[in-house]
Structure 1
């Protein structure tokens, strides 16, 4: 089920580019197979080779969300002409028929997948994570002492688990751009500042000042996109919230 797709206008001082974001919701049942009208034959073969149900679910969510975003951005209605391969560092690599020069960042949590497709000249990263107080200690372990002090000082937000999840997704998203994952030291991905304004968490980085993050709460989830800091972009959040109301309780949005 496609929850939401939107084309993003990326405005910089000297150029305007386009990207696209998508959200999908899918439950991968045991014994399920991929639709060959949507998935490339190589994707179908790889899916069948996976032994664990969770890996199959993550594969389905990531590829389906990537295809939906690429389809919107590149005007490619045949989703089987869009595929996602895996690089040597585990990064997704977008492959399309007749439209080179674009890449993708994907994320998934529970039964939700999201992706952003962007020009190679304009790197972006995405992440989504469920807010869970039970994971507070795990998320704290990825923060420096300075970061812990900064997040509790954020005005307008009292839920500590929300702030931890924002920090986690911000670091995950930029690590996808850098292709390091959390293998990098805590200091390398350090968040310099988090602000909360008009429903959006805005973050910057101590060692990568050329990037900035925007994070939003979607029900019990935090969704984050990291992009070049001097790029102006926005999403139609009221429309996105409306689409999510079919799954998430409105009071959580």
Structure 2
């Protein structure tokens, strides 16, 4: 029996070509809404590994249970999109020493990057040797001053390149770019913020930003914005994507309510 799915969940396959080799990956999106605890418990029983169920049961708030469960549901759906069959309860998603998600017990090695904010989750499942990082943030006005303070000067350096982005959206774009490359390197934002400085910020097509990094030069990043969210996706800079972030999100627009 296939485990129960949720409305507002979508996955899409893409590839990254690097030095003559093609590496497949799966991008997933899930819109989140308030689910009753009874429904969450039903889904948990069908999707969570026994070690995850133990952690889930100890979470004190329904909101935290929802975030914990739905992130794993999305990630395991993306694993299934990579061709893995079987029971998702055989897959455990643990936390690495820097808080990064780690897939265990799947029988096949995968790398996972996962991000969630109020209303939206995004994930990428890929070959363990191909680093990706994804970050999603919901726009919140009162966070802009603290974000600007943390952006290590990039807000002022690239202000002329922000185009039609508002100050609020621009701050969240830069922040998600830094978060995404931190996730791609598995260290998050645990280094000095100057480590994640931006060296290039441009618009190759309307609606999609391309960024590169001053110090983490192995990576590039794509960013897209809707009215409510910013999503950034870091990947190996010398690789060629067959589908870009705006195209992957377009697949999710109707099902997830990305726009």
Q: TM-score, normalised by structure 2?
A: 0.87
| SS of the residue 1:207 aligns to | coil
* Alignment equivalent of 2:152, drawn from 109, 122, 144: 144
Equivalents in 1 of 2:55, 2:111: separation in Å?
A: 20
Q: Equivalent residues in 2 for 1:61-140 (5 A)?
A: 61-76=70-85, 78-100=87-109, 102-140=110-148
Equivalents in 2 of 1:210, 1:182: separation in Å?
A: 17
Report Cα offsets for 1:105-135 as digits up to 9, x if no partner.
1100013211111111111111100122221
Partner of residue 22, structure 2: 16
CA 1:189 to 1:79, structure 2 compared with 1: closer, same or farther past 3 Å? same
Q: Equivalent residues in 2 for 1:198-213 (5 A)?
A: 198=205, 199-213=207-221
Structure 1: gaps spanning 5 or more residues: none
Please state how far the C-alpha of 1:170 moved relative to its aligned partner.
0.8
Q: Equivalent residues in 2 for 1:1-253 (5 A)?
A: 1=6, 2-26=8-32, 27-30=34-37, 32-33=40-41, 34-76=43-85, 78-100=87-109, 102-145=110-153, 147-154=154-161, 156-198=163-205, 199-233=207-241, 234-235=243-244, 237=246, 240-241=249-250, 243-245=252-254, 248=257, 253=259
Report Cα offsets for 1:118-153 as digits up to 9, x if no partner.
1111111111001222211121122122x1223311
CA 1:215 to 1:95, structure 2 compared with 1: closer, same or farther past 3 Å? same
Equivalents in 1 of 2:70, 2:220: separation in Å?
A: 26
Please state how far the C-alpha of 1:238 moved relative to its aligned partner.
5.1
| SS of the residue 1:181 aligns to | coil
8 Å CA contact 1:24–1:64 kept in 2: the answer is no
Structure 2: gaps spanning 5 or more residues: 1-5
Report Cα offsets for 1:54-93 as digits up to 9, x if no partner.
3222212321121111110133253223321112222111
Equivalents in 1 of 2:111, 2:137: separation in Å?
A: 22
8 Å CA contact 1:151–1:164 kept in 2: the answer is no
Moved over 6 A (4+): none
Please state how far the C-alpha of 1:190 moved relative to its aligned partner.
0.9
Greater Cα shift, 211-220 or 153-162: 153-162
Q: TM-score, normalised by structure 1?
A: 0.88
Equivalents in 1 of 2:257, 2:61: separation in Å?
A: 27
